A and B are shown apart, each in its own frame.
Chain A
């Protein structure tokens, strides 16, 4: 058994969590093997280990995401039953996790993100839960990161990565019952200042008895923060002891890796020294003069092949902008950046911008060299195999062979393949975008060697790192602040301290406007454009034919658009979940057919049919989730089923609307036309549902389903609820079709399906990311349905209706794009 070293008297410490003999085996690998771990109240544990050591699996077990094959867990002295354990159960017991890949919904505001995580605590009617969640968000953010400058009412999408990380941490500690907080690489995107604030906060909470598990590759942070270090290797706890009994070198050794980080001894290379003649190596060159882009200003650099050049700075100081601009200068930047030699880009964000998940290692490795050739040049299976093989061997990739799927590799090995990709393409300028993020030390050392070797061959290595020590390998380092170079450190002056000190120079360069929120007078992404488009079409129609403004005109025009409005709102719920419903038109056709037949002759049977149809609609959502099949195809199939049934009931247009329905539709409302009342009621209902508590959750799902699931919400329920809501609005829409047309036609509303997608998007919706606006959707629907009338008033052929609808759609979206570009 491991030795349990606790600094203070064990008697005063309450044991919070104790796990015994945890094991978890995936298909072939033993991810966690017989691990025991106990945590006392107010203890901070550092969990370290190479990639694949089992840290993440262990944390997933403790937090209820993964169920182990064997082992026991006690929390607060009570044994846990694995079949009842889940992330929400863990949260209820006070165990929370801050994940490395953030679990926030970027379409929600900061405080709404707090709400979806702690929904049980923010109850009450409309204003109340919002106000409470907002206050809590403000308080937590300020408690952990004083002076954070984050507006809690802002949408997450407006925040920087570091700010999002702060929100993620603050949200996790917004739990009065918090007992153990697991932080997985929390500082990887935080700046120095925020890291210090986090440390201070952790110490404060520790004094109150909250425990922390701190996972980090940054051993210096571990050493200064924690009480006890647990070292994992190959799924087992290799060592555990007080921080006083170890040091960084010792930990690295215990992690099972021989660290031989010799400072690169070579002096400046021939090439990096200007004026050393025009040897062939010196042909690689990168010159930047007066570069000025959206995120950068006044950058002058003169770099030559044969050296490793570090690009450093506080998070978000323009480092990445610079790398991207060097890789692909666009617009005016193209004139400022002169490259002699070809470029390759190696990202550290492997999953998002590095890997091709369906491909083998070899295919992943050769793509850059292929893309360089371009066009319809032939390639065979064997193309590039030789160079792949040689790099595969040199980089000691751990896999079944170059033909193995890229996804079967660990993160560090995937990174090696990305490096190989750049090397095989034989680029002269290699851009490294934090390539060692989340990579184990052994791989790092190997990569350093490769970088040095490439530089020795005359390549220029441009290296952005978030790990300050790594700059010690560079020949020169340029420090950025507020988008410009504030310091240049040359070989002799580079050490960790001087680099970090340099980060804070140039405070006076802070741009005035940077802090102020961008407030646009005319909110283009909001409802301004759809409202404007609707009013334009309506007013022009009215000028041409004044009767449009009369009671009768309104009843005719707006009344006729009610079915499309309802159909659009039906579509909106599905688009809000980042899916598309291609069956809403067919569904309304079936509702219409039943409404003009069965509803008249046998109302109870008709209502039963409607109930079954609603359930079927919710069932579509369930199917999409359970089988992970694309909504677009499922709903396409469903549309055939709806139309088929409608045909079977009524093969030709006909039927008759029930009299009570036509009577309701023609109801004489005092003062304002009744159709406006209907539109108003429907719109308000949609807005209220949209902004309700569960509506907020649904929007969260549309943006980041995995995160909402971890917060304890059921994906199945959400999808079913979304489709059910869609079904309800579709049902109402179909009934209004019956009321407006007083008859039935299975085909009448088929064209609505695509129109609704257009209307939702025109109204400010995005097809991904859970961004929709009920008000905008209504405006969009009215605009599209008024076009026919407008063309009639203009004496234009109705043949043009479709074309004008298409043109307006594109125009509205193009306007929105221009507006967005301007506000950036």
Chain B
């Protein structure tokens, strides 16, 4: 018995996504039992919402991997502005999708690049730099919003974000492919190793020959790209763009990344964990809605939960 627990502990230590996955499963089970409607459909619909969140969360994870308090506060701003941009450019025509997506991704990448440059070359802390670019994006969205009159999405994007094939949402494929790419880049390339090195000890990374600035800059650009993609998809899902539509994703991306088992101190990240972290987050909200909690109580529970997860699951940063 002891051996089993020890082996499980070792496994959970190495595969940190297991906590978020297990938590999601238990919540789904509990929710089904309480409402006496235990079915796969509720899991699929929750996973669908999680699939959106996951795109931005993976971007956030790349930035958090840089370590030393690296965090991307501009994600909500990027989501909102790219939602506006894509909706405006595509204007409900399939023919314009390519252009809309390209512009949105470029905008996201540009914001990421700006973040990176401000952080690395002006030596301004990430939390401040991304806060500042976030402010600029807020203003940009406000201005873009004036006279914005588009409330429709291109049919193809609607199918992609809401449609299903044999009961499986297309979004699973989209997020799955993006996550796979993110995993490969993180775990199977020199870039991923370098990023993990920078996150653990930036001085040591520089002296080991890692091009630390380039590596970090890329992480911010990746975050911008992912948030940009999320903005496009989210706009298609809700049929349009509105002010503040990205706002709730700041805290949810951070929460999902941390709950998923990525070290907030940097240097250890897990894509799979981030996916399950997102699912966990979404299921919690659904569970509370099912239980009929009012908005205030829902917020309280979310807050308590984030703290509890950290209290239970955080391992101390390994210091020598």
Residues on A close to B: CB < 8 A?
327-328, 344-345, 347, 350-359, 363, 367-368, 370-380, 405, 407, 421, 425, 580, 623, 627-630, 632-634, 636-649, 651, 754, 757-758, 761, 766-768, 797, 799-807, 809-810, 813-814, 817
Contacts and interface: CB of A to CB of B under 8 A. Distances in A.
Interface of B: 69, 71, 73, 118, 122-125, 127-129, 131-136, 138-140, 142-143, 146, 185, 188-194, 196-197, 200-201, 203-211, 251, 254-255, 258, 263-265, 267-268, 294-307, 310-311, 314, 316-320
A807 B211 contact: no
B118 A810 contact: yes
Contact of B299 (A363, A630, A647): A647
Contacts of A651: 294-296
Contacts of B131: 754, 757-758, 806, 809
Given A347-B207, A367-B210, A644-B303, A817 B200 contact: no
A679 B152 CA distance: 50
A628 B122 contact: no
B310 A627 contact: yes
B190 A371 contact: yes
A374 B299 contact: no
B139 A803 contact: yes
B296 A580 contact: no
Contacts of B185: 376
Contacts of B73: 754
A500 to B, nearest CB: 29
Contacts of A799: 139, 142-143, 146
Contacts of B306: 633, 636-637, 640
22 contacts: A345-B208, A356-B205, A358-B200, A358-B263, A370-B193, A371-B193, A371-B209, A374-B194, A376-B189, A377-B190, A628-B314, A630-B264, A633-B254, A633-B307, A636-B255, A636-B303, A641-B299, A641-B303, A644-B298, A646-B296, A648-B300, A799-B146
A647 B132 contact: no
A421 B205 CA distance: 12
Given A627-B310, A802-B139, 4 more contacts: A367-B210, A379-B190, A637-B306, A761-B125
Contacts of A642: 303
A555 B297 CA distance: 38
Pairs A-B, 6 closest by C-beta atoms: A640-B303, A806-B135, A647-B296, A644-B299, A803-B139, A644-B300
B217 to A, nearest CB: 14
A1 B18 CA distance: 55
Nearest to A760: B128
B314 A767 contact: no
B255 A817 contact: no
Given A370-B190, A641-B304, A813 B124 contact: yes
A639 to B, nearest CB: 7
Nearest to A810: B132
Nearest to A367: B208
A768 B125 CA distance: 9
A632 B128 CA distance: 13
Nearest to A352: B203
A368 B318 CA distance: 22
Nearest to A354: B204
B167 to A, nearest CB: 34
B310 A640 contact: no
B121 to A, nearest CB: 9
A375 B311 contact: no
A651 B298 CA distance: 13
Contacts of B320: 350-351, 355, 357, 407
Nearest to A798: B142
Contacts of B205: 356, 367, 371
A809 B317 CA distance: 31
B126 to A, nearest CB: 9
A647 B301 CA distance: 13
Contacts of A804: 139
A638 B188 CA distance: 37
Contact of B204 (A353, A363, A640, A813): A353
A639 B190 contact: no
Contacts of A628: 314, 316-317
Prevailing SS type, chain B contact patch: helix
Contact of B128 (A645, A758, A803, A807): A758
A327 B205 CA distance: 13
A9 B146 CA distance: 94
Nearest to B68: A768
A817 B123 contact: yes
A372 B310 contact: no
Nearest to B304: A641
B71 A632 contact: yes
B300 A629 contact: no
B311 A627 contact: yes
Given A356-B200, A358-B318, A375-B191, A637 B128 contact: no
B318 A809 contact: no
A425 B209 contact: yes
Contacts of B190: 370-371, 373-379
* Most chain B CB atoms below 10 A, which of A356, A628, A757, A799: A356
Contact of B138 (A638, A648, A802): A802
A747 to B, nearest CB: 11
B194 A371 contact: yes
Contacts of A379: 188-190, 192-193
B299 A643 contact: yes
A596 B157 CA distance: 47
Nearest to B129: A810
B267 to A, nearest CB: 5
A549 B317 CA distance: 53
Contacts of A356: 196-197, 200-201, 204-205, 267
Contacts of A639: 303
Contacts of B265: 630
A628 B136 CA distance: 34
B296 A645 contact: yes
A625 to B, nearest CB: 12
Contacts of A813: 122, 124, 128
A819 B302 CA distance: 44
A768 B143 CA distance: 35
Contacts of A374: 190, 194, 211
Given A580-B127, A767-B128, A355 B305 contact: no
B300 A803 contact: no
B230 to A, nearest CB: 20
Contact of B132 (A355, A405, A641, A758): A758
Contact of A644 (B210, B297, B317): B297
A368 B208 contact: yes
B125 A367 contact: no
Nearest to A376: B189
Contacts of B267: 356-358
A376 B143 CA distance: 39
A368 B302 CA distance: 43
Nearest to A409: B320
Contacts of B299: 640-641, 643-644, 647
A629 B310 contact: yes
